[in-house]
Chains A and B, each alone.
Chain A
Amino acid sequence: MSAETTSQNNNSPSSEDNNTAEEAAGTYECNICLETANDAVVSMCGHLFCWPCLHQWLETRRSRQTCPVCKAGISKDKVIPIYGRGNPNPQDPREKLPPRPPGQRSEPEGTGAFPNFGFGGDGGFQFSFGIGAFPFGIFASTFNFNDGRPAAPAPGSPQEAEEQFLSKVFLWVGIIFIFWLLIA
């Protein structure tokens, strides 16, 4: 903007050289800091910036990266570094400026109704299931000596008939259950 305007007011012939120098400098001014661009990059739309300036702008508007001058879409990969002859070992300015570490966001603590509800990480949510004391159950029921159960009733008594009946009922229930398991 000030590129053409800076030299308009000093028209005296003595400052002729000065004029052209200023004009030339103005042509290569960064559009953000208004200084002669250093670590210059140019956008696809032709606008010149210092890479540090442009980088800061791109960081400011991460979600909507546009050219400051013409609002064209712009990104790190869509700008071209400019290498002048004076620089003995040109290096891509975009590599020079280390990209800043990305921001990290951690969850706030102790908010909401389920403070510890989450999977993995902080171990807030765990569960397990199984058959309690599995291998010992067999020993408990098979090798239980001396557990003081009453002796079997005398053969022919009504209690013996009742127990026989119950035993058959449970046997059939068991058979039906296994059959149902097989066909289901």
Chain B
Amino acid sequence: MASMEKRLQKELQAMTKDPPPGVQVDQESCSRVMNEWIVDLEGATGTLYEAEKFQLQFKFGSKYPFDSPQVTFLGPNIPIHPHVYSNGHICLSILTEDWSPALSVQSVCLSIVSMLSSCTEKKRPPDNAIYVKTCSKNPKKTRWWYHDDTV
């Protein structure tokens, strides 16, 4: 537990000092409880999501960084993207089976921004309706089936 908090402190420091473009940690959210962060994202310029604002929620378990954080889109604006369900769940392999402890909040944010940026057509996943009805609250409980490497 202690090592998890230490590492989150370090990550927060780095993110505050030198945030990647279009990514900003909501300081207020972290100061309340260390294991839940809100991160503000902005769609990269020159992409379908240019100037759009999104919110990501990170939830860290006690095994972080050995276990991946729970990451979902939050709030009124959930991007319309073939890998993002309308309840905010994201189909991204590094959030479950391809997670590695060398990844961080920063690298996850960058992956998500780049996932949005490479999108060519704004649409929901084909199984959105049924997934949203049947899924668990925790996206990590979903057995994701990663099949599309293009976006």
Q: Is the CB of A32 within 8 A of B102?
A: yes
- What CA separation (Å) do A120 and B6 show in the bound complex? 51
Q: Is the CB of B17 within 8 A of A69?
A: no
Residues 7-19 of B, flagged 1 when their CB comes within 8 A of A and 0 if not, give 1001100100110
Q: Is the CB of A69 within 8 A of B7?
A: no
Q: Is the CB of B6 within 8 A of A35?
A: yes
Given A5-B18, A8-B18, CB of A57 within 8 Å of CB of B6: no
- What CA separation (Å) do A1 and B11 show in the bound complex? 10
B65 interfacial contact with A, CB 8 Å: yes
Chain B residues, CB < 8 A from A5: 14, 17-18
Chain B residues, CB < 8 A from A1: 14, 104, 106-107
A93 interfacial contact with B, CB 8 Å: no
- What CA separation (Å) do A57 and B101 show in the bound complex? 8
Q: Is the CB of A69 within 8 A of B66?
A: no
Counted as pairs of residues, one from A and one from B, with CB atoms less than 8 Å apart, the total is 47
Chain A residues, CB < 8 A from B101: 31-32, 53, 57, 68
- What CA separation (Å) do A32 and B3 show in the bound complex? 10
Chain A residues, CB < 8 A from B107: 1
- What CA separation (Å) do A1 and B100 show in the bound complex? 14
Q: Across the interface, name the chain A residue whose C-beta is closest to B4.
A: A33
A71 interfacial contact with B, CB 8 Å: yes
Closest Cβ–Cβ distance, residue A56 to chain B (whole Å): 6
In residues 11-42 of chain A, which contact B (Cβ within 8 Å)? 31-35
A60 interfacial contact with B, CB 8 Å: yes
- What CA separation (Å) do A6 and B101 show in the bound complex? 20
A75 interfacial contact with B, CB 8 Å: no
Chain A residues, CB < 8 A from B63: 60
Closest Cβ–Cβ distance, residue B109 to chain A (whole Å): 12
Chain A residues engaging chain B, CB cutoff 8 angstroms: 1-2, 5-6, 8-9, 31-35, 47, 53, 56-57, 60, 66, 68-69, 71
Known contacts A1-B104, A33-B3, A60-B66; can you find 16 more A-B pairs with CB under 8 A?
A: A1-B14, A1-B107, A6-B17, A8-B18, A9-B18, A31-B101, A32-B65, A32-B102, A33-B6, A33-B65, A34-B7, A34-B10, A35-B10, A53-B101, A68-B102, A71-B100
